[in-house]
Amino acid sequence: QVQLVESGGGLVQTGNSLRLSCAASGRTFSSYSLGWFRQAPGKEREFVAAVTWNGVNTYYADSVKGRFTISRDNAKNTVYLQMNSLKPEDTAVYYCAARRPSYSTSYYSTGNYDFWGQGTQVTVSS
Protein backbone atom coordinates (compact mmCIF):
# COMPACT_ATOMS: atom_id res chain seq x y z
CA GLN A 1 0.00 0.00 0.00
CA VAL A 2 1.03 3.57 -0.69
CA GLN A 3 -0.48 6.60 0.98
CA LEU A 4 -0.17 9.95 -0.77
CA VAL A 5 -0.56 13.40 0.77
CA GLU A 6 -0.53 16.51 -1.40
CA SER A 7 0.39 20.00 -0.24
CA GLY A 8 1.29 23.39 -1.68
CA GLY A 9 -1.99 24.46 -3.19
CA GLY A 10 -3.41 27.93 -2.74
CA LEU A 11 -4.71 31.11 -4.32
CA VAL A 12 -2.44 32.93 -6.77
CA GLN A 13 -2.78 35.54 -9.45
CA THR A 14 -2.42 34.91 -13.15
CA GLY A 15 1.20 34.56 -14.16
CA ASN A 16 2.45 33.50 -10.76
CA SER A 17 3.90 30.16 -9.71
CA LEU A 18 3.18 27.38 -7.24
CA ARG A 19 4.96 24.18 -6.37
CA LEU A 20 2.89 21.21 -5.32
CA SER A 21 4.37 18.40 -3.29
CA CYS A 22 3.15 14.86 -2.76
CA ALA A 23 4.65 12.88 0.08
CA ALA A 24 4.31 9.12 -0.08
CA SER A 25 4.55 6.39 2.48
CA GLY A 26 5.77 2.91 1.72
CA ARG A 27 9.08 1.25 0.97
CA THR A 28 8.28 0.64 -2.68
CA PHE A 29 7.86 4.31 -3.63
CA SER A 30 10.96 4.30 -5.80
CA SER A 31 9.54 1.54 -8.02
CA TYR A 32 6.28 3.38 -8.76
CA SER A 33 5.53 5.72 -11.61
CA LEU A 34 3.82 8.89 -10.40
CA GLY A 35 1.36 11.27 -11.91
CA TRP A 36 -0.51 14.49 -11.31
CA PHE A 37 -4.12 14.91 -12.37
CA ARG A 38 -6.57 17.74 -11.86
CA GLN A 39 -10.30 18.15 -11.70
CA ALA A 40 -12.18 21.40 -12.17
CA PRO A 41 -15.80 21.81 -11.01
CA GLY A 42 -18.20 20.02 -13.34
CA LYS A 43 -15.39 18.41 -15.34
CA GLU A 44 -13.76 15.03 -15.44
CA ARG A 45 -10.41 14.39 -13.84
CA GLU A 46 -7.70 15.00 -16.41
CA PHE A 47 -4.07 14.10 -16.80
CA VAL A 48 -1.49 16.79 -16.10
CA ALA A 49 1.94 15.15 -15.87
CA ALA A 50 3.70 11.89 -15.07
CA VAL A 51 7.20 10.66 -14.30
CA THR A 52 8.57 7.15 -14.53
CA TRP A 53 9.95 5.28 -11.55
CA ASN A 54 13.53 6.33 -12.24
CA GLY A 55 12.72 9.93 -13.14
CA VAL A 56 14.15 9.52 -16.63
CA ASN A 57 10.95 9.98 -18.61
CA THR A 58 8.31 12.63 -18.11
CA TYR A 59 4.99 13.20 -19.83
CA TYR A 60 2.78 16.29 -19.98
CA ALA A 61 -0.63 17.33 -21.14
CA ASP A 62 -0.44 19.76 -24.05
CA SER A 63 -2.18 22.39 -21.96
CA VAL A 64 0.68 22.55 -19.44
CA LYS A 65 3.69 21.68 -21.58
CA GLY A 66 6.39 24.32 -21.18
CA ARG A 67 4.82 25.73 -18.01
CA PHE A 68 4.72 22.79 -15.58
CA THR A 69 7.56 20.51 -14.53
CA ILE A 70 7.20 17.20 -12.71
CA SER A 71 10.08 15.80 -10.71
CA ARG A 72 10.67 13.27 -7.96
CA ASP A 73 13.05 12.72 -5.09
CA ASN A 74 13.08 9.05 -4.21
CA ALA A 75 15.24 9.68 -1.16
CA LYS A 76 12.43 11.84 0.25
CA ASN A 77 9.55 9.77 -1.15
CA THR A 78 8.21 12.92 -2.72
CA VAL A 79 7.02 14.02 -6.14
CA TYR A 80 6.72 17.66 -7.13
CA LEU A 81 4.81 19.69 -9.66
CA GLN A 82 6.33 23.09 -10.39
CA MET A 83 3.67 25.26 -11.99
CA ASN A 84 4.73 28.48 -13.68
CA SER A 85 2.82 31.08 -15.69
CA LEU A 86 -0.43 29.98 -14.11
CA LYS A 87 -3.70 30.75 -15.84
CA PRO A 88 -7.29 30.87 -14.55
CA GLU A 89 -8.00 27.68 -16.51
CA ASP A 90 -5.46 25.88 -14.30
CA THR A 91 -7.87 26.28 -11.38
CA ALA A 92 -8.74 22.81 -10.09
CA VAL A 93 -8.18 20.29 -7.37
CA TYR A 94 -4.83 18.63 -8.07
CA TYR A 95 -4.34 14.97 -7.26
CA CYS A 96 -1.21 12.93 -6.93
CA ALA A 97 -1.34 9.31 -8.12
CA ALA A 98 0.97 6.30 -7.99
CA ARG A 99 1.17 3.29 -10.26
CA ARG A 100 2.64 -0.11 -9.48
CA PRO A 101 5.29 -1.39 -11.89
CA SER A 102 3.55 -2.27 -15.11
CA TYR A 103 4.28 -3.18 -18.72
CA SER A 104 1.82 -0.53 -19.80
CA THR A 105 3.38 2.50 -21.41
CA SER A 106 0.28 4.63 -20.99
CA TYR A 107 0.39 7.25 -18.28
CA TYR A 108 -2.52 9.42 -19.32
CA SER A 109 -5.55 7.64 -17.94
CA THR A 110 -6.80 7.59 -14.35
CA GLY A 111 -7.32 3.86 -14.75
CA ASN A 112 -3.57 3.32 -15.04
CA TYR A 113 -3.00 4.37 -11.42
CA ASP A 114 -3.49 2.35 -8.26
CA PHE A 115 -3.26 4.88 -5.44
CA TRP A 116 -4.54 8.43 -5.05
CA GLY A 117 -4.12 11.33 -2.69
CA GLN A 118 -6.94 13.48 -1.35
CA GLY A 119 -6.11 16.47 -3.52
CA THR A 120 -5.06 20.07 -3.01
CA GLN A 121 -6.94 23.11 -4.31
CA VAL A 122 -5.25 25.47 -6.74
CA THR A 123 -7.08 28.68 -7.59
CA VAL A 124 -5.73 31.16 -10.12
CA SER A 125 -7.40 34.56 -10.14
CA SER A 126 -7.50 36.78 -13.20
Contact 55, 69 (CB under 8 A): no
- The maximal CA–CA distance of the chain, rounded, in angstroms, is 42
User: Cα(57)–Cα(49) distance, rounded to whole angstroms?
Assistant: 11
Digit-by-digit pLDDT tens for the chain (126 residues) are 889 999 999 999 999 999 999 999 977 888 999 999 999 999 999 999 999 998 899 999 999 999 999 999 999 999 999 999 999 999 999 999 999 988 777 899 999 999 999 999 999 999
Contact 18, 8 (CB under 8 A): yes
